[in-house]
Structure 1
Amino acid sequence: MKGWMGILFALLAIPAAARAGEVRVAVAANFMAPMEKIVPLFEAETGHKALLSFGSTGKFYAQIRNGAPFEVLLAADDATPEKLEREGRGAGRFTYAVGRLALWSRQAGLVDAQGAVLRSGRFARLAVADPKLAPYGAAAYETLGNLGLLETLRPKLVQGENIAQAYQFVATGNAQLGFVALSQVQADGKLKDGSAWIVPASLHAPIRQDALLLGKGKDNPAAAALMRYLRGDKARALIRSYGYDI
């Protein structure tokens, strides 16, 4: 009995950080910047480690169905986590952010506050994300359709697999402007550079982004801790600072 008590006391004496685990997280590309700020806070406060992979929600869905080792999914929509939940591949779904779409250019003054540049012909290429894989791409196509510009501008569209690639097309000058996530071009409520039009939410379906605790993470305390942390005041304030609604 004394031997077992000694082992118990020894275990209790181990610092929390030494007992901490790690969680593998699939993160939608639009959420890269805020997540890279959230993770150090999460790790410092919990002792757990988060291993991040960034990409398109559609591709993550296929990878998860094929057995990828992700334990938490931070999607760019609510439909994919809901589908995975229905398939029995996760639980505990909640909306961690509501995204905003922006039309952005590196060139100052090119994009006006009403998005009229889309009708101006002052650009050769317009970057968008793949609407089949990226919810922000679907929102961009819906916006163009509601503006009556989709067929007119279709020859100018250059398509990236995800919103990160769409952003890179504009950032590198391969496209004069593009539809990106507001979080990619704004921090602390201010535009980082260039010019942008924040697309009115009425022009596309809400971009509700859901988190899901996946089956591989259901017994992992680090995964559960991350899900809780994303609902906390510090994470929510940081998410808002990148232009998301909560």
Structure 2
Amino acid sequence: MTIARSWLSALLVGATLVLPAAARADEVRVMISGGFSAAYKQLVPQFEQATGHKVSTAYGPSMGTTENAIPVRLARGEPVDVLIMVGEALTGLTEQGKADKASRVDLARSPIGVAVRAGAPKPDISSVDGLRAALLAAKSIAYSDSASGVYVENELFKRLGIQEQMKGKARMIPAEPVAAVVARGDAELGFQQISELLPVAGVEVVGPIPESVQKITIFAAGISTKAVSAKAGADLLAFLASAQAAPVIRKTGLDPIAHPAGK
């Protein structure tokens, strides 16, 4: 990782390097969950242009049992070089021997936010009392089937003391962005990482939930233990963790995690 990151940093700050296609250009197969996807889609063309590598991508949740969920993809033997997903889920894959622990790099912190349909009134969720009142007043609430939704269902409602009141009107959404459900009017409030709410047309992000009940999700990346293009995959991880990538990551609603040069 250190060698890959140092080489790529030199390339990105203006060094001109001709890449012999047979020697250096590889296909990097990536599996990625939604929270980092908006930044990733903007950054991958820069990486491909700088390195000559080509990136192919499969999208799916970090956890769960839906057809496209990353653990399900791995279980059915889909090929992959790079995994980009919720850090806790990546840790689980490392413990199962499916991701190389030494290759892991944490990329960004992601807060949970709330969205409403575009044009709908925005509730005041700046305080815990305001968030509680908004949830009690809403007729329907949606949350994801990944890390943020698991927290909302199992911890947030309980911490707010409204677990019973949420039964029957709050539901987990599998295999679809929560914001899409809100945009078509099937839920008044939607909870998911802000980076997953922002790209969806037809909704407005109210803001993050209050800090005292917030859960920050870490998005991380690592190399598959079955990677064919491990070196090219390491180059991609180095680029995504670089200072050059940070402004794009920040613009998509994430807080990039700084890494010392050469680390």
Name the TM-score class by shorter chain.
0.7 to 0.9
- The 5-angstrom pairing of residues 81-230 of structure 1 reads 81-91=90-100, 92-106=103-117, 107-114=119-126, 116=130, 118-120=132-134, 121-130=136-145, 134-141=146-153, 142-162=155-175, 164-186=176-198, 194-217=204-227, 219-230=229-240
**Which has the larger share of helix?**
1
Which structure 2 segments of 5+ residues have no match? 1-17, 64-68, 258-263
Distance in structure 2 (CA, Å) of the matches to 1:214 and 1:88: 9
SS class of match (2:30)? strand
Alpha-carbon RMSD: 2.5
Q: Does 1:46 align with 2:51?
A: yes
Return closer, same or farther for 1:192/1:40 CA change in 2, 3 Å cut-off: farther
Contact 1:28 1:74 in 2 (8 A): yes
Q: Which runs of 4+ in 1 moved over 4 A?
A: none
Distance in structure 1 (CA, Å) of the matches to 2:211 and 2:226: 35
Which structure 1 segments of 5+ residues have no match? 1-14
User: Residue 4 of structure 1 aligns with which residue?
Assistant: none
Letter in 2 for 1:86: E
> Could you tell me the TM-score, scaled by structure 1's length?
0.81
SS class of match (1:16)? coil
Distance in structure 1 (CA, Å) of the matches to 2:202 and 2:241: 26
Return closer, same or farther for 1:153/1:71 CA change in 2, 3 Å cut-off: same
Contact 2:223 2:234 in 1 (8 A): yes
> Could you tell me the TM-score, scaled by structure 2's length?
0.76
User: Residue 12 of structure 2 aligns with which residue?
Assistant: none
How many residue pairs match? The answer is 224
Contact 1:99 1:243 in 2 (8 A): yes
1:218, distance to aligned residue in structure 2 (A): 5.7
1:237, distance to aligned residue in structure 2 (A): 2.2
Rg bigger for which structure?
A: 1
1:148, distance to aligned residue in structure 2 (A): 1.6
- Which range is displaced more, 58-67 or 231-240? 58-67
CA deviations on 1:153-184 (whole Å, 9 max, x unpaired) are 1211132115x432211122111111022113
SS class of match (1:90)? coil
1:138, distance to aligned residue in structure 2 (A): 1.6
Contact 2:90 2:221 in 1 (8 A): yes
